[in-house]
Amino acid sequence: MAALTLDDVRHVANLAALELDDRDPEELEALRAELSAILEFMADLDAVDVTGVEPTAHPFPMASPLRPDEVLDVVPRERLMAAAPRTQDGAFAVPKVLEGDS
């Protein structure tokens, strides 16, 4: 793999809409080193033989994190309405949150 140049770093930064200070060579060099390390890691991953390995969305078997959909006992509506500070036409009455004529 060819080494990244500072022009490569500037180009990638431009694509990512990052502002770089060209007057700070340490910043450019630090980014060049970080990008190079990332590309080397990707090259290492690319070298792994995955022949016969099925693509997966997750590396471990996953059980559904959702609980079963079961009908539960609910609090009667009248009891809920009785506990509300204000009701109107059988619903909770809350302060208006939109401004305007509506």
Asked whether residue 17 is domain-assigned, the answer is yes
Per-residue pLDDT of the chain (102 residues), as tens digits, is: 678 998 999 999 999 998 888 888 898 999 999 999 999 999 999 999 999 988 888 888 877 778 888 888 889 989 999 999 999 998 999 988 887 665
Residue 20 within a domain? yes
Q: What is the domain count for the chain?
A: 1
The answer to whether position 71 is within a domain reads no
Token pair belonging to 21: 């200070």
From the centroid of its chain, how far is CA 31? 24
Residue 101, domain member (yes or no): no
State the CB neighbour count (10 A cutoff) for residue 63.
5
- Residue 97 covered by a domain: no
Task: Identify the domain containing residue 19 by its residue range.
Answer: 6-46
Residue 26 lies in a domain: yes
